[in-house]
Amino acid sequence: MPSPKAKNNCGRSGSIPGVTSNGRYEFMSLSRSPPPHLLQRQGSDPTSARLRASESPTRRRGSGSSNASSSSATGGQQLPEEDCMRLNPSFVGIALSSLLAIDLWLSKRLGVCACEDSSWGSIRPLMKLVEISGHGIPWLAGALYCLYKSDSAAGQEVMLNLLMALVMDLVLVAVVKAVVRRRRPTHNRMDMFATFSVDRYSFPSGHATRAAMCARFLLAHLVLAAPLRVLVLLWAVLVGFSRVLLGRHNVTDVVFGFGMGYCQYNLVEMLWVSPLGLQLMMGQMG
């Protein structure tokens, strides 16, 4: 048994009693680590294991949050730039995604002639006639026929430049479609007149580019009365609307097509074949 003096020293020094393997009492200071044999007994004791498992939740949460903050701080420095861009999308990306969603929604709502069972399916044959009027084959055939039948040099000059403009339009639209490769709307029926391989793509609308370019060409180089000029403009607009009503294109395809065709006419004016150049070409062909 410990002596009273040892007990008094225990009370003053703040030590706690422990029991050794041979049954003897010994005193252990709070400021010192326990002996190895006590550590072994504490580690094997299930009660002490439960006590360690039931550690203060506040302290565990504090240590967990500190570890998470430190790991996030170090991990944020190691994220590659492309991951940061995906996590923090730019304003331009959000705007383009929103514009695309609006375009798809509006195009589907306006596709009222996409099939016979649509709300405006009864006027689908009329819209298909408008579609054929803006097709490239009738325009190429008409330009060749007028060039062959023209008696004046001025008429041949106009028809030859119109023919060159139509060929240029076909080439430029085919290149853009092959590069962009945007699929046609899902509600479209592939029953178009005289299609080619690139016609399975939607952007831009070749009918819209051709309508805008030919309308500017006719208004600039043909002497037309005011009612006929209005009809030419209405025809170009109706061709563009028919592409959306029939479900052939999205709205942005037609809008971009109108802009592209408008700019193509400027290129035609830059590459215009003069009467002298026409005579030289005719002489070489003769």
Active site residues: 207, 249
Q: Per residue, what are the HEC states of 25-88?
A: EEEECCCCCCCHHHHHHHHHCHHHHHHHHCCCHHHHHHHHHHHHHHHHHHHHHHCCHHHHHHHC
* Residue 17, beta-bridge partner list: 27
* Secondary structure class of 184 (helix, strand, coil): coil
Q: What single string gives the DSSP state of each residue in 208-276?
A: HHHHHHHHHHHHHHS---HHHHHHHHHHHHHHHHHHHHTTSS-HHHHHHHHHHHHHHHHHHHHTPPPHH
Please give the helix or strand (H or E) that residue 116 lies within, else none. none
